[in-house]
Structure formats: structure tokens, C-alpha cells
Chain A
Amino acid sequence: MKTIISIFVSISIILGQHSMTITGKISDENGDGLAYVNVYFMDTLEGAMSDEDGVFSIPTHTKGERELRISHIGFVEKNIIVDVGNNPVDIQIILEKSFMEMDPVSVSAGSFTMADEEGQTLTSLEVVTTAGAAADIFRAVQTFPGVNQVDEGAGMYVRGGDVSETTVILDQATISHPYKYESDTGGYFGMIDPFLLSGTYFSTGGFSAKYGNVLSGVMAMESLDMPSRSSVTIGAGLAAISAGGSWVVKPDNLAIQFSGNYSNTTYLFKLNGGEERFEQVPTSWDGNVSSIWKYSPMGQIKVFHYSNVDEIGVNTESPTFKGIMLNDNHTQLSNIQWRHLTQKGIFIKSSLSKNQFGQGLTLGNIDKEMDDQLLKWRTDISIPAANKMTWNIGFILDELKTGLAATFPLDPNDFSPDAETEQYNVDYESLHYGIYFENEYQWSQKIFMTAGLRTDILDNPKQQVWDPRLSLNYRLSDSQFLKLATGIYHQYPKAQYRDEWVGNPDLKSMTANHYILGYEYKSELTNFKAEWYKKDYSQLLLDDEETNYSNKGEGYAYGADFFLKGTLPFISGWVSYSYLQSERKELDHLELVPTDYDINHNITAALKTQINTLNNAGVTYRYTTGKPYTPALNEWNSAILPAMQRLDLTFSRLVPIGKDGLLVLYLSVSNLLDKTNIYGYFYSSDYSERTELKSTHGRNIYFGFNLNL
């Protein structure tokens, strides 16, 4: 009997509790009832769906202040607190139409992102199928606006700045010399294979505090994550052979990846002509090995090592010298990176890296030996501070050692053996510390802001700089954005300018202020970006009779960049146009004159078509107005080289092999129009004679295959 009484007591309690009901109506912004809206308590699984008129009713048993979530596709999710008591609760809710989720990276001013995910500007496949890019991510990026192609190389010349003004980062490690066949104007190829990368962020200005301190641009790359299966890749082409593989030692726990390339261009020049221009055709070896250990689902350690050796000997003719330019480079990059995501959502990345670069160069009376070593420790922490707010904090400590032994002519145009020369011996060491903090905050559905501050301290010479940065994104509609970015950017002068004998040890950092206003339209199949920018430079280096160099240089750059990427039936691709005006008073240019890379108009169209699922074709056309050159003594950059044109074609065929294997056959024709472009002149000392510095390749054909098993 006692049991039955207690059961009835329980039933009455339960029935009593069930008398609590939450009712309400959900409407859109026009007051119309919304059907099929999901309304539910977050602490239990109790909930209901609204009817045709937007009315809902949830019976519940738990009293107190409780969180209720209201969710419907196409509308902004809402969470409200409801006080569930003995009295019925009736609530009225208005849902706002939602826009696509705001991604701070993909919509920030001046930036492009590359990965195999939707919403990215460029996928890895697009990098390797872009005609003329030679499967090189740097060359593919040169088809974007804001990047000028000043010669046939892969150098990143961003908005009037030279290659040293764009920093290249891989898994937090700085690659101070990211090119193969490196020269003062960049290099012929980028050193990182696009197949080694999982994602890349590229910015032509206005980048946030965490990306560091340079005057113009940033290219931040992330290497591949854990492979899902073991595989082997081999490839061969007219000028290169390569092999690589992934070994999954334990799925989702431990994997090793490696690849190596040997490149020799003998047969490329035999087939296409131009062999006579080289004493030593371009030849290189490179290899890399990496290992990923996932010690838990939340953390991993990645070790990466890369090594490259290359050499080239070019027959060179100038009014003062006829002979060979010999250049050999070796690069090593080692990096160990730890990543961990805590239960509270704090994401920590820390890396210790060492980048070594050595170069030997001889040209007439120029004889240069350089060794560069950068040891770096970097930690980045991302903290979800509050709803829609993330804090990014980072610390950088690096040590730079540069050794330079060189002989240069006093007259920069005279390479003859009997010309007067100057001996440089630079041995420079410095420590650099950097700290940044930035706050990413979504004010509302329409406004996203990133505000940051970084400070960098250099011990030799002692100095500290502070750089505030701000970017705002305003959503005009679900596919249109307005973007604004501004900030102060500093860059230390290169080691040789800071040497106590041939440079000036008291030189301060050079400064640039960026101002960017952008508009972006982004839909599933179309991406249009337009940006207007202005950069003011101060404290640039200027030749100085007393101190070798001073910080009295200055300059500016302004312009506009346009980018349209789209997909139509059977054809996809992008078109970019850049307008640039830039002047600087810098180094031996003692007045404000156009910069060496002041290319006013630059148009590129990179189009691809899928003939069918297995056959693809691509075409890239580029037209750029000429860059300035100096035609007479002290008439710095007062003349303009002829415009440059280039048309490249590529064709690839995919052949599936077995279940997972794939054979890719490719054929490319570069410089189809066989245009000889002039990239500069060698002048005699009195500027009375000159010879042309022309493009190395006329029309040329390349073919090969890649097999992945």
C-alpha cells in the first residue's frame, strides 16, 4: 500500500510539473509567422517546432532560469533566457534573416587565401593548372593584382616594393631566402612545392599584427597535415625528375612524408634553343622530409627539413664586360612545430626553426660570398575570449647572423676587371624580440573588426618600434563587403646597411603607413574584389656622404587593384588588373623619382577549361607596361622600358590507374607568341653605350608526367 501511495505521489509531482508550458510566436522582420522553427532548451533535449503560423508550445518540467535556443535555416540563431515558473510563459520572438557566416580571413582587406577548401581564392589544383605558373605557387600568385612581374622570375614585388619587402613564412618559420636560383631581384622559382602545402594566406597590405613586420606583403604557408594513406609519387619532365612518398606508420597517429627533385635544363634548351646563353645550364637538387606525430586528438608535433642546392652560369654581355655570371646557392630549413588545442578551445602553436642560406656570385669584378642564418622561436596563442571575440597573442625571438665578403665596383655600371672596386666584409649579429596582441571581434552580423598592436625590439642597434593595426569589415548584404584597413609597418634595413664600416650602425627601421579601402562581392561562383590603397614611406635608406646611409629617404605608392574570378559552363578562371604609381627617394636616387618597380598597368587573365573530366586546358595572358630605367647619369628612372606581353598554354590529361592511382600527363607551351621582352639595360659608365637584358626564353615547350599510386 505504501508503495502505491508513493507512486501516486510521484505521478502527481510529475503531472504537476508537466503543467508548465512555454508558448510563443516566432515571426520574421515583417511580422509574418515563421513555420518549422526549432525551439528548444539547451539544458535538456526538450523542444518543439513552430506551426504554419509560427506558434509553438513546449511542455517542460524544470523550473528556473533556462536558456532557450531558436533556430531556423536562413535566419540568425537566437538564444534567450526564459524564467520557467508556475505561471505560463508566453514569448514573442523576431528572427533576423542571416547572412553567410563571416570569415575574417577570407574577407580581410588586401588578402588572398589558397587551400583545397571552398571559399578560397585559389586551390592547389588551380596553382598547378595555371598556364605559365610552372606549378609554382609564387608564379601563380603573380597572376593576382597587386603583384608585379618585373622579369621572368618568381619574385614577389608587391605594390611597388622590392622582394625583401614581402616576408615568406612556412609553419611559423620565416624563410629569409625563399627562392631557387636566387638573385637580387628574387629568384627563378619559389622553393616550396605547392603539393607540400595545405593552405596559404597572401596579403598585399593592411595585414594584421600577427603577420609581422615588413613594408609591403606577407605570404604565410601551412604544410600538409596527416596523410590518410601511404602513397608513392614519381614524376619526370623534360628538365626534372622527382620522387616522393607518404608512409602512414599508424593511421591518425604517425606519418612520414618525403620528396626529392633533381632538375637539369640541358634538354629543355636543346629542344627549344638558347643553350648557347649558358655556360652552366640551371641545375638544382632539393629534398625534404617531414614527420607528423599526433599524440592526442587535440595535439601534434610536426618536424620538417628542407634542403636545396642550385647553380647557374649565364653568358653575359655589357658595354664594359663580356663573360660568365656564375651563381650558386644552398638553402636549409629545419622546423619543429607543436600544436595543441585545449578543452577550453585555446589553440597554441609554437615552432623552433633554423634557416640557413649561402650564396656565391661572380660577374666580372663582382665577387660575392654570403652566409645568412636565422634561428627563430615563435609562439602563437588563440583564445576564444568571449562570444564572437578571439584574442591572438604571440611572442617571437630570433637571432640573425649574416656574413658577407664581397667586392663591388665603385661605378655600379662598370664590371670590367680593371675597374676600381670596393671590398665589403660584413659580420653582423642581432637579436630581435617581438610581441603582439590582437582582438578579433564580431560587433554584429554586419561588422567585424580586428584591432592589434605589436612591438619589436632589436638589440643591435638598440631600438623599439610600436605598430598599431586596424581592419574593419562591413557587410553590405549577404554577398557584398566593404573593407577598411590601416596600420603602421616597420622593417629593419638589411644587415649590410647596418655594418659599422660599409653601412651605418645607427640606422632606424624603415616605416610604411598603409591605408586600404576595399569592396568585395563573393558568391558561390563569382568573386570580385576592388581595392584602393595608399602607402606612405618614411625613414627609407638614402646614400649619405658622411655616414654611408641615413634614414632621410621617403616615398609613396597609391593605386587600385581589381580581381574577378568566376565559373561559367565549361570555363573558369580569373582576370586581374593593377594600377600603380609609386615614387621614392631611396639609396642612390637622391630625389623623389619613380621606383624601380613602378609598373603602372598590369593585366593578367588566367583561364581554364575542362574539355571533359579527364582533359584540362589552360591559358594565361599577361600584359604589363614597362618598368622605369635610368637612361643617363643622374636621370634616375626617367625612362620606361617597352611593354611586356606573354601568352602561355597548358594541357593536362588525367589517367586513373587502379583504385587510387592517378597518372597526370602534361604539355605546356610558354611564351607562345615568341615575344622577346626587355627587362633592363646594361650601361657603360658614361651611359653612351648599352646592351639589352632580354628574356631568356622564346617560345618553349615542356612536357612530362606525374604518377601517384
Chain B
Amino acid sequence: MKKYLIILLALSTLLIGQKPDDFILSGKKIIHSALEHWNEQEMMNARAHFERGLHLNDKEWLFRYYVAYCNDQLVHYYQSKGDKKTALTYLNDGIKQLNEVIKLNKDFADGYGLLSSMYGEKMGIQPWTGIMYGSRSSTLIRKAIQLEPNNPRLYMIQGTSAMFTPEKWGGSKEEAKELYLKAAELFKTDNPPPLMPHYGKSDIYAWLGQLELKMGHPEEAKKYYHKALDVDPNNNWVKKQLLPRIK
């Protein structure tokens, strides 16, 4: 009897369709799984999932944000495979989506943050665009921090920007470390509502590790990578890519 009820319940869910909130939560699970497996197809699936929800008007900004977030992950994926052209396609689409996001919800700090980060990535792939996007990227992250001064993801983005920007253009590894440590501290108490972005808790240590490596401290880097795995043992980025590089 119980079995039939479970089948009925499961089928009913499909039958009546998921509510937008449930739909977002199930999409976040697909993202999580795609990140765990570092799998292109799964991430595409997550992107498709959120794209389907775009016409649900009341939360369009959040659906669009997650489409862009999936794009961002796909950018990392294609870059790791050396496919810059496809990476740029997803990067440009992500930037377009996020510009819409901040028009639809002017108070959504994570939207500004991710947009700033994607402009940063664009400058990374096409360094000559720095003259166009440099100031826009920093204005966006400043605006995001002004909206949510305790959002750790924003300091993580700012830190990454400080780490990758050449010193003569205002970058600084010391400043990056300061920002990363601030983010790590804030992550300890970070508890966003379930529908909102919550990534970064384990990644912050991965970034700290990369920074230490850049500063010539491989042992420190290793410690941070292990710390990342303590927070999330399934962090495949650290497990399969970052850690093996220094072993």
C-alpha cells in the first residue's frame, strides 16, 4: 500500500507540475551534481532546466541568474578543454542574462557580483577588452558589496579579481588574500535562504590555495586544498584538478 502511495505521490508531482520554488531547488540539485561530476552534459541539463522556468514572470530574475551561473560553470569547463570559442559564447550569453537580471531586480547583490566576475573572465580570455570592461567590473562589485556588505561570495569575486589583475593595473596578491580571508570568515555564518545562491563555502579555500601557490607557498596551498575537502569532500575541482597539480 505504502509503495503505491509513493508512486502516486511521485506521479502526482509530475502531473500537477512543480511549483517555481521546488523547480528552483531541483535545478540547484542538478547543478550540485554536475559540479560533483564535473560533467558538461549535466550542467547543460541544469541550464536547460532553469531556462524552462524563464517565463514564470515573478522569479524570472532568479531563473536568469541560474542560467548565467550554469553558463559560468560551462565557461570554466570549455576553458579547461582549451575551447575558447565555445567558452566565449557562454560567457557572452551569461553577461547578457545578468545585465537583464540586474534590470529586473536592482537589489540582487549576487547578480551584480556574478556579472562583475564574468566581465573579469572575459578580460582574462581577451586581455585587450580590459580598457572597456575594467571599470565596469569594479563598479559592479562595489555596487554589490554596498547592497550586501556581509555576502562572502562578493569578497571571493573581488579577491579573485585582485589576484588575476596585474599589479601595474591595480592588482595585489596581498589584497586578494585579505579579501579571501574575509570571505572565508563570512562563509562560517553564511546562511542564505534555500532558493538563493549559496556556492563558495568550500571553493574559497580552493582560491586561497591557488593564491598561496602563486605566491610560491605550495605547502600552504596544499593545506587550503585539504581544508576545502574538509568542508566538501566531493569538491571535484579540488580533488581532481587542483590537488594533483602540486603532488
Contacts and interface: CB of A to CB of B under 8 A. Distances in A.
Interface stretch (A10-18, A190-198, A387-395, A672-680): A10-18
Nearest to A116: B136
Nearest to B168: A612
Interface in A23-78: 36, 38, 40, 42, 44-47, 49, 61, 71, 73-74
User: In this complex, which of B5, B7, B15 has the most chain A Cβ atoms within 10 angstroms of its Cβ?
Assistant: B15
Interface in B1-41: 1, 4-5, 7-8, 11-12, 14-15, 17-18, 23, 41
A569 B1 CA distance: 70
Interface residues of A, number: 41
Interface string B134-173: 1100000011001000000000000000000000111000
Interface string B221-236: 0000000000000000
Interface stretch (B124-132, B177-185, B192-200, B204-212): B124-132
Nearest to B55: A42
B44 interface: yes
A71 B134 CA distance: 32
A613 B170 contact: yes
Given A4-B1, A45-B18, A567-B129, A612 B44 contact: no
A44 to B, nearest CB: 5
Contacts of A45: 17-18, 23, 52-53
B45 interface: yes
Nearest to A15: B11
Given A11-B7, A14-B12, A660-B142, A525 B106 contact: no
Contact of A572 (B48, B132, B146, B168): B132
A47 B114 CA distance: 27
Given A40-B52, A228-B143, A567-B132, A73 B90 contact: yes
Given A36-B44, A42-B55, A73-B90, A524 B129 contact: yes
Contacts of A71: 51
A613 B48 contact: no
A657 to B, nearest CB: 13
Contact of B11 (A11, A525, A568, A610): A11
B89 interface: yes
A612 B169 contact: yes
A74 to B, nearest CB: 6
Given A45-B18, A73-B90, A525-B128, A18 B48 contact: no
A71 B18 CA distance: 21
A15 B131 CA distance: 59
Given A228-B143, A612-B170, A36 B131 contact: no
Contacts of B4: 7-8, 11
Contacts of A49: 44-45, 48
A17 B134 CA distance: 54
B129 A11 contact: no
Contacts of B127: 569
B93 interface: yes
User: In this complex, which of B127, B128, B143 has the most chain A Cβ atoms within 10 angstroms of its Cβ?
Assistant: B128
Nearest to B12: A14
Interface in A495-530: 524-525
Contacts of A89: none
A222 interface: no
A524 B44 CA distance: 26
A45 B53 CA distance: 7
A229 B146 contact: yes
A125 interface: yes
User: In this complex, which of A8, A49, A613, A659 has the most chain B Cβ atoms within 10 angstroms of its Cβ?
Assistant: A613
A38 B8 contact: no
Given A14-B15, A36-B48, A568 B128 contact: yes
Interface string A611-654: 01110000000000000000000000000000000000000000
Contacts of A571: 131
Contact of A569 (B8, B106, B128, B168): B128
Contacts of B47: 38
Contacts of A7: 4-5, 8
B8 A36 contact: no
Interface string A598-615: 000000000000101110
User: In this complex, which of B18, B48, B132, B142 has the most chain A Cβ atoms within 10 angstroms of its Cβ?
Assistant: B48
User: In this complex, which of A14, A17, A73, A659 has the most chain B Cβ atoms within 10 angstroms of its Cβ?
Assistant: A73
Interface string B86-103: 000110010000010000
Contacts of A229: 146
Contacts of A568: 128
Given A36-B48, A45-B52, A570-B131, A61 B14 contact: yes
Nearest to A4: B1
Contacts of B169: 612-613
Interface string B48-61: 10011101000000
A68 to B, nearest CB: 11
B170 to A, nearest CB: 4
A252 B106 contact: yes
Contacts of A613: 134-135, 169-170
User: In this complex, which of B14, B23, B135 has the most chain A Cβ atoms within 10 angstroms of its Cβ?
Assistant: B14
Nearest to A610: B131
A36 B41 contact: yes
A569 B52 CA distance: 40
A4 B5 CA distance: 10
A3 B51 CA distance: 40
B211 to A, nearest CB: 20
B198 to A, nearest CB: 22
Contact of A73 (B14, B45, B89): B89
A296 to B, nearest CB: 14
A518 B132 CA distance: 26
Contacts of B135: 125, 613
Contact of A660 (B44, B128, B146): B146
Contacts of B12: 14
Contacts of A569: 127-128
Contacts of B48: 36, 38, 40, 47, 49
User: In this complex, which of A567, A571, A572 has the most chain B Cβ atoms within 10 angstroms of its Cβ?
Assistant: A567
B219 to A, nearest CB: 33
Contacts of B131: 567, 570-572, 610
A260 B106 CA distance: 29
B169 to A, nearest CB: 5
B74 to A, nearest CB: 9
A148 B41 CA distance: 57
Contacts of A567: 128-129, 131-132
Nearest to B145: A659
A569 B170 CA distance: 17
Interface in A111-161: 118, 125
13 contacts: A7-B5, A8-B4, A36-B41, A38-B52, A40-B51, A44-B17, A45-B53, A61-B14, A118-B99, A229-B146, A525-B129, A525-B132, A613-B134
Interface of B: 1, 4-5, 7-8, 11-12, 14-15, 17-18, 23, 41, 44-45, 47-48, 51-53, 55, 89-90, 93, 99, 106-107, 127-132, 134-135, 142-143, 146, 168-170
The 9 closest A-B pairs by CB, nearest first: A38-B48, A613-B170, A569-B128, A36-B44, A40-B52, A14-B11, A49-B48, A44-B17, A47-B52
Interface of A: 4, 7-8, 10-11, 14-15, 17-18, 36, 38, 40, 42, 44-47, 49, 61, 71, 73-74, 118, 125, 228-229, 252, 524-525, 567-572, 610, 612-614, 659-660
Given A7-B8, A11-B7, 17 more contacts: A7-B4, A11-B11, A14-B12, A18-B11, A38-B47, A38-B51, A40-B51, A44-B17, A45-B17, A61-B14, A73-B90, A228-B143, A567-B128, A568-B128, A571-B131, A614-B170, A660-B142
